[in-house]
Structure 1
Amino acid sequence: MRLPLILTLGTALVSLGLAAPVMADGHGERAATPVAVPLTAEELLAPYYARLRETVEMPEAGPNPALAADTRLTRIAFGSCNHQSASQHMWEQIARQNPQAFLMIGDNVYGDNAWDGDAGLESLRAAYAEQAAHPEFASFRARFPMLASWDDHDFGLNDKGASFPFRGWAEELFETFWNSSDEVRSRPGTHDSVIVGPEGQRLQIIMLDTRFFRSDLKRMPWSAERPPLGIYLPDDSMGATVLGAAQWAWLEAELAKPADLRIVVSSIQIITEAHDYESWENFPRERTRLLNMLAAREDSGMVMLSGDRHSGGIYKLDHGGETMWELTSSSLNLAFGDIEGNTAREPDPKRVSPFFGVENYGLVDIDWEARELTITLLGAESQTYARQSFDW
């Protein structure tokens, strides 16, 4: 059920601080100095969302085993770009790999595909409900602990960030569906971090939120010929941000915690500079800040995971005196390319594998004794497309 939101244009403008109300004095005359009461869109819509909470069903992903704090993790799977209306065949493939945990790292549903602009994000809520109803997904979730972060299509709208006016309600839908921790629910954004394992084998998983606080993207001027590799320009202005001040401070504190190995999850790609779609390269200052902060972390091994691109590959970067690795896995069931075409279309000196535009998921295998990590990109039948091992 969608509840109507009825506002006169004048009331909306006044409430948003875009116009000032006309007020009368004690003699029935108009006041000389009107007073505006500025409100954000979220504040204006608060009564509407309070009513929604009372009247609509909030979808939930279903039962999920907890990841025990003393678990010695040796295999983690992850993926991104899962359309709720497409085949759910990948869950069985991933289950056969017997991971100890699975990371959903963005575009976990496509809730904006049918969005008609309503403040209640009905299409997003319906997408979550449809995903929860798939028996393949429910069976997988009942067996394997899951952690989740979001990207644009489950944040609310393609390529959007902090200016999306309904982001607070989108966050509530996300946190309800994925049963986010009390700590995550207590703050704006969906970023999360867990440390699991015994001393000497402690793994920290950091899930960044690259949506809730992110500045608007800087677009290229209009052209009759659309660029083949995106439409965005780098924004190196001082105020532009990906994570926002609060999340930056949180990340710095997380990276100072003792851990033997860290997995840093970003819904968008970090290392690459080869395209003009969404990536950390949209904000060069922020990308450099992230790489510097990761390099300055408390002593530990590290690997970065990303999604978003509907293609997968392995990336390598020497920065801050170390070699950094990133595995991009996308998408679980919504491929846009093929085995070979994307590699030629997007040459990249930082990518050490082909760029596979087919359905895929990723694995991270940890050999604690040898202090060796292996990252693998696998296909729809669990065939290996790319693999890289490295010591830490």
Structure 2
Amino acid sequence: MIKKLFLVVLLVVSGYVGFAQDKIQSGPMVGYSTMREVLLWVQTTKASEVHFEYFDQLNPKERFKTDMYTTNKKDGFVAQLVADKVLPGKKYTYEVYVNGKKVKRNYPMEFQSQTLWQWRTDPPEINFAIGSCAYVNETRFDRPGKPYGSSYEIFTTIHSKRPDFMLWLGDNTYLREADWSSRTGFLHRYTHTRSLKELQPLLASTHNYAIWDDHDFGPNDSDGSFPLKNTAVEMFKLFWGNPNYDALGTGGITGSFQWGDLDFFMLDNRYYRTANRNFTGERQMLGEEQIDWLINALSSSRAPFKFIAIGGQVLSSEAMHENYAIFPKERAYLIRKIREAKIEGVIFLDGDRHHTALSVMKESSSVYPLYDLTCSPLTSGAHASKEEFNNYKLEETLVGEHNFGLLKVSGPRTDRVLTIQILNKDGKEMWTKNIKARDLKYKSRRR
């Protein structure tokens, strides 16, 4: 009995334990939201029949059910089910049932449908969190020495801010040497990270969207030559709840989503990537086809802010590590296309660097400045890089500790304002800046 108790305590401390009393390994999690449906996700500890029930918080007597699904070992006992009886602009409470029994939690399990505001009102105020580089320790697979992951309480802090959704900017889990050579390893690593107890309340009531970078794609600095890249895609789709993937139809996780009057374009900086040290031919991080898709999608967008999420830092002039400056020809092509198409309101969101910084590029007085918000890390090793050779950085925005971003878009439809707030693991404000949509227009179109 004492040995069993010790084992349970050990597993809880390590962060890798399912909620044995209710047969749930991790979750539930809310994925994408639209006006008419929402994705719900959960992982059980063994093969189980799962369904969700939900109701409008203002009308709790009318209840709805998702389909039933039996989880299986091959897919890591994951269930993804759609709540398809929702109406626009509602807040719902939901319940998860495993083998017919309701699972109880001591934190809210809620989701929201998006608001039908068009032709009726100004768009709603939108609040969302961003972050990258989340490392969860597991001693038997980690490198010896000081643990690389810490400050898991940051997820409690993010949850306390009650954002509408969170956009994970890559390195959302860290594959280890024992993981990236097999499907079994991928499943273990994704499950281990997703099971972190501090993460569960955030997953349960905040909608989640994600892109990847090298550590949740494959080995460190991995590229398009990685032989298990399609397994990486499979695992990413299994554990995240984006509304779409593979917009190019050629593999990878490229996609997009809308929230209110905002558009988000989620790029894949790994699946098509040339090896960092391969200089024998044309070099690419995104590939011309992905960039051309992006330009076309941006051109059709009427959003005041068009957020481009990408795993690596875009606008730094510091050609080092894995930022876009080591692919200068392709980066120049992307920026040239944005300018040629006269696309307005572009803001890059990225991670990877293990510090936070806001970079601003303005090529001439005839164009609006391009912003690049690098936000990192959540729980992995942090360092206070000064980006000595990045001519675009704003010195006062450099943060070298665990942090996350809280972004708010507010104001009337014709005068939207983005407020960027960077907070540390305890919720202390590190800096804040406002960017007006009217200032991200070409001069001839400003009012």
| Partners of 1:59 and 1:129 within 8 A in 2 | no
How much has 1:79 moved relative to structure 2? Answer: 0.3
| Partners of 2:136 and 2:379 within 8 A in 1 | no
Q: Which of residues 57, 74, 91 in structure 2 aligns to 1:56?
A: 74
**Corresponding residue number in structure 2 for 1:82:** 134
TM-score by length of 2: 0.64
| Partners of 2:171 and 2:215 within 8 A in 1 | yes
Q: Which of residues 240, 258, 261 in structure 1 aligns to 2:301?
A: 258
Assess, with a 3 A threshold, how the Cα gap between structure 1 residues 249 and 62 changes in structure 2: closer, same or farther: same
Q: Secondary structure at 1:378's aligned position in 2?
A: strand
| Partners of 1:193 and 1:254 within 8 A in 2 | no
| Partners of 1:91 and 1:137 within 8 A in 2 | yes
Assess, with a 3 A threshold, how the Cα gap between structure 1 residues 270 and 361 changes in structure 2: closer, same or farther: same
Assess, with a 3 A threshold, how the Cα gap between structure 1 residues 317 and 117 changes in structure 2: closer, same or farther: closer
**Corresponding residue number in structure 2 for 1:350:** 392
How much has 1:337 moved relative to structure 2? Answer: 2.0
1:123-202 matches, within 5 Å, as 123-181=185-243, 183-184=245-246, 187-197=250-260, 202=261
| Partners of 2:317 and 2:389 within 8 A in 1 | no
Distance 1:273 1:324 in 2: 13
Assess, with a 3 A threshold, how the Cα gap between structure 1 residues 79 and 160 changes in structure 2: closer, same or farther: same
Deviation track 1:177-222 (CA, whole Å, cap 9, x = no partner) reads: 113435548651111111232xxxx210111110000111127xxx
1:1-392 matches, within 5 Å, as 56-58=74-76, 60=78, 65=111, 68=114, 70=116, 72-85=124-137, 86-87=149-150, 88-111=152-175, 113-115=176-178, 118=181, 120-181=182-243, 183-184=245-246, 187-197=250-260, 202-218=261-277, 239-260=282-303, 261-297=305-341, 299-319=343-363, 321-338=367-384, 342-343=385-386, 346-354=388-396, 355-369=398-412, 370-392=415-437
TM-score by length of 1: 0.73
Letter in 2 for 1:141: L
| Partners of 1:331 and 1:359 within 8 A in 2 | yes
**Corresponding residue number in structure 1 for 2:34:** none
Letter in 2 for 1:356: V
How much has 1:275 moved relative to structure 2? Answer: 4.4
Assess, with a 3 A threshold, how the Cα gap between structure 1 residues 358 and 61 changes in structure 2: closer, same or farther: farther
Distance 1:293 1:372 in 2: 25
| Partners of 1:77 and 1:101 within 8 A in 2 | yes
| Partners of 2:131 and 2:376 within 8 A in 1 | yes
Assess, with a 3 A threshold, how the Cα gap between structure 1 residues 61 and 367 changes in structure 2: closer, same or farther: farther
How much has 1:124 moved relative to structure 2? Answer: 2.8
Assess, with a 3 A threshold, how the Cα gap between structure 1 residues 377 and 66 changes in structure 2: closer, same or farther: same
Deviation track 1:215-244 (CA, whole Å, cap 9, x = no partner) reads: 11127xxxxxxxxxxxxxxx6x86211112
Assess, with a 3 A threshold, how the Cα gap between structure 1 residues 390 and 171 changes in structure 2: closer, same or farther: same
Assess, with a 3 A threshold, how the Cα gap between structure 1 residues 142 and 61 changes in structure 2: closer, same or farther: farther
Distance 1:291 1:89 in 2: 38
Q: Secondary structure at 1:248's aligned position in 2?
A: helix
Distance 1:191 1:136 in 2: 29
How much has 1:313 moved relative to structure 2? Answer: 1.1
Q: How many residues align?
A: 314
Unaligned runs of 5+ in 2: 1-70, 82-109, 118-123, 138-148, 438-447
**Corresponding residue number in structure 1 for 2:89:** none
Deviation track 1:57-86 (CA, whole Å, cap 9, x = no partner) reads: 436498884763647352111000001324
Assess, with a 3 A threshold, how the Cα gap between structure 1 residues 179 and 390 changes in structure 2: closer, same or farther: closer
**Corresponding residue number in structure 2 for 1:45:** none
| Partners of 2:156 and 2:201 within 8 A in 1 | no
Higher strand share: 2
Letter in 1 for 2:262: L
How much has 1:139 moved relative to structure 2? Answer: 1.7
How much has 1:270 moved relative to structure 2? Answer: 0.6
Identical amino acids, percent of aligned pairs: 25
**Corresponding residue number in structure 2 for 1:40:** none
Letter in 1 for 2:329: R
| Partners of 2:131 and 2:404 within 8 A in 1 | yes
